[in-house]
Amino acid sequence: MAALWAAPGNPGIAEHAECVALDAKDHAAVAEFCRAHTIDLVVIGPEAPLVDGLADSLRAAGIAVFGPSAAAARLEGSKGFTKDLCARAGIPTAGYVRASSREEARAALERFQAPFVLKADGLAAGKGVVIAETLAEAEGALAEMFGGQFGTAGSGVVIEEFMAGEEASFFALTDGETIVPLGSAQDHKRVGEGDTGPNTGGMGAYSPAPVLTPELEARVLREIVAPTVRALADAGTPYSGVLYAGLMLTAEGPKLIEYNARFGDPECQVLTMRFEGDLAGLLLACAEGGLADAPAPRFALATALTVVLAARGYPGAPKAGGEIDLGAAEAEGAKVFHAGTRRDGDALVASGGRVLNVTALGPSVTEAQAAAYRAVDAIDFPDGFCRRDIGQKEIAREAARERE
């Protein structure tokens, strides 16, 4: 009989798994738990344990792991590392300069034109990117980054040229040799409607992303993903896991914005809602180097759309402890994924910035969005908020096609 454990888990996954209190930084304790419970596969979800080398420690203990080594996870752990790899491998991306001090970064600004794209080099929970409209804004952002706003993530900064276009995300599985396309999504990073306000870890997404056509997906695989996998293999640090390419669809073609070394949130929700088949079996095949012999992933033709309910104050200082009543949300045909929730006695309360992902399927983005917002409106969360325009660009395109 199959069993599932989640560490640390939350009240949502507790309906499907046994939640255990494990510190992902204590590699020995995690490995011992896996040995004691005869764990066949560990799926490492967040980026921090990957960058910290948890996958390496578990593999050294003889445990199958879905997720890259620390050396390969630098694709997400250091934006500068990825930009340098792109430069060496000829992968299309924005021009850039790396800076390790505020003075060096301020001098580098002279090479660029507004708007200025500034990125904290390390992990910053999706919030370490600033698009400054003026030189004064850019200098202020640099002062905050080097002043510790993002902790050690801001000890180095990448300054990039601004790329115009529409963003999309492409996902692929790889065991270091075989690459299997996994689909597309479109995320909404800004906290405010109309793509305004500061960047977040994501306020909603939908999958597939029609703007990423089959022809463009083939280019992304050929020009961006495959050269990345080859470069890491050639360096002796093969990548195993899911490779999430954040893309800008420019007039010159798709260009890489950045990589994530894991499924991502909220993209994971919309991908898994559409997935049909044995996901655990596919991830195990990837972990064991058998991706070439695994059945091809299958996805429903429907669109999945997710809306993030966040706590007031996010992405700054979110309000914790607000009570949540899910009501009849899932009766509306949606699935409510928990992110920042916990139990306080019998009450469900917020414990993080992004609290819930309300996800629904539909034959189009328009219908999936309507279903997702019906479920959102069935939830009572006075301290929460959401964007009301997730998927709106594609809905406008759908409406235009209807009129043709």
Looking at this protein, which amino acid is placed at residue 274? R
Report how far residue 8's alpha carbon sits from residue 71's, in angstroms, rounded to the nearest whole number. 25
Going by C-beta distance under 8 Å and a sequence separation of 6 or more, which residues neighbour residue 300? 274, 275, 276, 361
Beta bridge partners of 276: 298
The pLDDT of residue 332? 81
250 and 163 Cβ atoms separated by less than 8 Å: yes
Average pLDDT over residues 254-268: 95
The pLDDT of residue 199? 85
Q: Quick one: pLDDT band at residue 290, thresholds 50, 70, 90?
A: very high
Rg, Å, the chain Cα set: 21
Q: Quick one: pLDDT band at residue 130, thresholds 50, 70, 90?
A: confident
The pLDDT of residue 153? 66
301 and 108 Cβ atoms separated by less than 8 Å: no
Average pLDDT over residues 337-342: 96
Flag the least confident range among 143-157, 288-302, 376-390. 143-157
Which ranges of 235-316 would DSSP assign to H, the alpha helix? 267-274, 279-287
161 and 116 Cβ atoms separated by less than 8 Å: no
Phi and psi angles of residue 99, each rounded to the nearest 5 degrees, phi first? -135, 140
Report how far residue 95's alpha carbon sits from residue 40's, in angstroms, rounded to the nearest whole number. 43
Give the SS3 label for residue 328: coil
Flag whether pLDDT at 201 surpasses 80.
yes
Phi and psi angles of residue 202, each rounded to the nearest 5 degrees, phi first? 130, 125
The pLDDT of residue 103? 92
| Length of the chain counted residue by residue | 404
Flag whether pLDDT at 217 surpasses 70.
yes
Pairing relation of β-strands 347-350 and 341-344?
Answer: antiparallel
pTM: 0.93
Flag whether pLDDT at 1 surpasses 70.
no
Q: Quick one: pLDDT band at residue 230, thresholds 50, 70, 90?
A: very high
Identify the CA nearest to 48 among candidates 28, 27, 62. 27
Flag whether pLDDT at 307 surpasses 90.
yes
